[in-house]
Amino acid sequence: MSNSIYLEYNFKVTPVQPASDILIAELGEVQFESFVETEFGVQAYIKKEDWYPNILDGLQILSNPLFNIDYDYSEIEQENWNATWESNFNPIQVGDQCVVRAPFHEKPEVLYDIVIEPKMSFGTGHHETTFMMLQHILEHDFKGKSVLDMGSGTGVLAILAAMKGAVAIDAIDIDNWCYLNAKENVERNNCSHINVYEGTADMLIDQQYDIIIANINRNILLEDIPTYVKCLKKGGILFVSGFYKEDIPQISERCKKVGLKFEKNLEKNNWVAVKYVF
């Protein structure tokens, strides 16, 4: 694969929170695909082919008088990504059982040791949504279950599901770089029964799962939840994240219309991860 050119935006944000979380959410709506939270704000990455000069014009947070946001940007090659994330990527501990770390970090004494090299993919456990989805997985029984990880990014959620005993796992992401990175991470963690695919919910034909995990964003979830339900076994579980607490009523209404029942949600810095049962 030829190396794609990315643009790296460096945002200096005051105050850092909650402005950084809002900024990340709005950037995700305009094709930015990876983020690193820094001491001063956010580094955000977008493929040059997806970029256009006035791409930030529609971001409401940039005109919000409550926040002061300055930024600059430059081009980077994919091979330079390692240096960027290695300087920012610290191990993440989820409860007392799970650590998400890079290959260069010291091996911890935990039950679930997940080694991730994220490159340009989303999902290291640093972001609230990934962290909470890892919490959900840790709290539930995956032994012998069939699982779909939709919008899989690095593959970290699928990998934890496999470590917890899931026997058949499909991980799907629309982005080619995420697809390739997830395959690498699946192999790195010796999870041979995870099948990684590049695509969308349109691939879900005649599939059936005990558990579906979807950490994407509100708009895609609203569109794809009916498709997920068609693939969910009776009594199955849908975990969704990638949206704010204020979005729960809209997501829950969509779920209710297709037979899903709200059971529980986790919350972290106004982001949520919600459990529904079919």
Q: Following DSSP, what letter does each residue of 14-38 receive, concatenated? A: ES-TTHHHHHHHHHHTTT--EEEE-
Burial (0-12, 13-18, 19+ Cβ within 10 Å), 57: exposed
The C-alpha atoms of residue 119 and residue 79 are separated, in whole angstroms, by 9
Token digits for 176?
């080619």
Alpha-carbon distances of 76 from 38, 45, 72, 73, rounded to whole Å: 18, 9, 13, 10
Binding residues for S-adenosyl-L-methionine: 130, 151, 173, 215
